[in-house]
Structure 1
């Protein structure tokens, strides 16, 4: 009987289940879906990690505004979610974060209030709604769980605005640098004459109307030769660990490293406008002698034009004239107001003398004096005090010391009313609210009783 035989050979191909990553590794910032396709609105992906945020608010990126903000009140809990991929851009490169929603496998929606880059990963900060539970959030976003991520209508409008403004800044800086040799310094531009600014706007719009293409080039990051971030938007952050370098290229115009989302064509900017400039006078700093340029493009420009038209139309209605005549009519109103104010000030100056004389006689007779006035309060009281001091000098030869306190309250007081108090000719103060004589008045009187002249 013949022996049974078997032939062993290599399989035709490796099965798809052979290579498994547990948990799935996140795509690094620089290669995210929002950076590969800035017009993408949603994506199906998987969760990599989830944890409860250690802070009730989204952590700061390290930059503080001109005025330090007060600590916000405690709000709903935050959870931090890292996904395999995302269409929600994490704040970076001077561009604010996107907002959007996550959809868990059970169909529940979770609000992403901000996204930030931590090292090379995009972290989604999910603010829980009152009916949502932290434990359930940790469960539905466990590693490997299916997650839908979307910008939503409001999030996409925000993305389009940021994208158009960011690409516009690249275009503006490129035209200034390559054609006028003007550098961008922390979003502030070295001074340029008005005719040069007009030229820049015309050149930018020419490129917009041509619809120059915009594309992204991605390459491996050379950590040894990379320029480490040295300012608000210059270079690569020293804590970036994503391993890739992104360069934004405007066809025939500019190449610039950037991690932000950008319009795929300058056509998306629709129009470009430099409404005004602002001189910066910061002696001894890098901003000395610089000019800040304000620019608008895309949806933000259209919103600005719509709001400006509405305001102008409303002003024309109030002035009872056509829109082109509004500046002239406004100037007429301002001039008339100045003349009326001058007439009131002249009359008050004339009235201050008799009021001070009457006040001097009443005080000399041992009577209490009180005067209320609703015009230029502080100016009128100062004029009365000066005239009163002159009367004392004439009558007493200036040898008698005195303390004069004048106050003025509106005839009809409310919680927002302002009472002005003048002590002598130099010191003044204001009280907001209803001045009650047997309350605020009594307090002032008790203080004055203790004054030794």
Structure 2
């Protein structure tokens, strides 16, 4: 009852206070917030204005009653005098609705609007809360609201969550927002430091791989140089590091280099299950060889999906990836490809 009444009151005040028609609305299942769709988002000031006005008339205890008119076949409902407000006529009965009854909800001095729902007899116990305006400026805009038992449930749940957050942050409830801002700021600084360290690490690994290839060549190595490196990394951006290693490798190649090479890098989480994801990065001096190697890897590992263009190929494999099993098999693919080439 309270949510039906709250929706009618909110819709009426949006029109009377802000000249905003309600495009649509929904009373969600308990205890979720209901919502109204508007032509545009409300500002913070408008939200407060409508909410304050709603609670003001609720404090006044405005009465709510239902006017019912029994319709005969062909009649279109109440259509005379005071009953014919703009909102009532604008939301009149469908043309094919004949017979039965026409119910109009009347909020004393506020609104008259057809409705088939149940309502409170008075606004006395109704408190309306509008959630802050949505961050997006898209239209139409959806505004959520709560009233009655749902509002009390929301307050209790919010208080419990706030207490839990305060406990985790070891601070009072009023200090939680500032403490969260501090934690987020520190987190961004740590992420920046990690990015810097990863760039340095990628540069070091890339340079080391180039030196290893050149030394192999100087010691009599012929044909294509191949290398497989399997890393363990729990970072959600593991593929970014592998890409950075390949860029560093290219950057440290001698300007007059004619070396042939195929390099395969993988990164797997430290604790693996059947749903773990291993990322793969393939780099080569010959585009055709890279594509062929990628195709062979996908045949070798049915869970590996990927693709690429030119000298780079990347993919992801879902499942367990072990160094002494999948790692050896991947290294074998490179070696066999090098021999056949």
Q: What TM-score do you get using the length of structure 2 for normalisation?
A: 0.70
Q: Does 1:431 align with 2:317?
A: yes
Q: Which residue matches 1:389? A: 250
Q: Closer, same or farther in 2 for the Cα pair 1:223/1:259, shift >3 Å?
A: farther
Establish whether residue 297 from structure 1 lines up as the match of residue 147 from structure 2: yes
Q: Distance in 2 between matches of 1:323 and 1:281?
A: 31
Give matches, 1:401-440, under 5 Å.
404-424=263-283, 428-436=314-322, 438=325
Which whole-Å CA distance do the structure 2 matches of 1:426 and 1:238 have between them?
65
Aligned mate of 2:70, from 220, 225, 228: 220
Residue equivalent to 1:32: none
Q: Displacement, 1:263?
A: 1.9
Quick one: higher RCO (CA 8 Å, sep 6+), 1 or 2?
2
* Residue of structure 2 aligned with 1:185, choices 12, 20, 23: 23
The CA distance in 2 between the partners of 1:240 and 1:439, in whole Å, is 70
In structure 1, C-alpha distance between the alignment counterparts of 2:70 and 2:12, rounded to whole Å: 25
Aligned-partner Cα distance in 1 for 2:201–2:156:
50
d(CA) in 1 for partners of 2:329, 2:120: 68
Gaps (5+ residues) in structure 1? 1-162, 228-232, 283-287
Let me know the Cα RMSD of the aligned residues: 3.4
Aligned to 2:200: 350
- The residue that corresponds to 1:277 in the other structure is 133
CA distance 1:445–1:291, change in 2 (3 Å): farther
Q: Distance in 2 between matches of 1:307 and 1:359?
A: 56
- Partners of 1:245 and 1:426 lie apart in 2 by 70
Q: 3-state SS of the aligned residue for 1:200?
A: helix
Structure with more helix by fraction: 2
CA contact (8 A) 1:362 1:368 kept: no
The gaps in structure 2 that reach 5 residues or longer are 25-35, 79-89, 217-224, 284-310
Q: Deviations over 1:349-394 (max 9, x none)?
A: 1111221122334456445321314244122112101111223463
Q: CA deviation at 1:188?
A: 1.4
Further displaced range: 241-250 or 418-427: 418-427
Match for residue 158 of structure 2 among 305, 308, 319? 308
Equivalent pair of 1:356/1:384 in contact (CA under 8 Å)? yes
In structure 2, C-alpha distance between the alignment counterparts of 1:387 and 1:309, rounded to whole Å: 51
User: Distance in 2 between the 1:432 and 1:323 partners?
Assistant: 42
Aligned residue pairs total 277
Q: Which residue of 2 aligns with 1:165?
A: 3
Please say if residues 280 and 292 of structure 1, whose CA atoms lie closer than 8 Å, have aligned partners that are also in contact: no
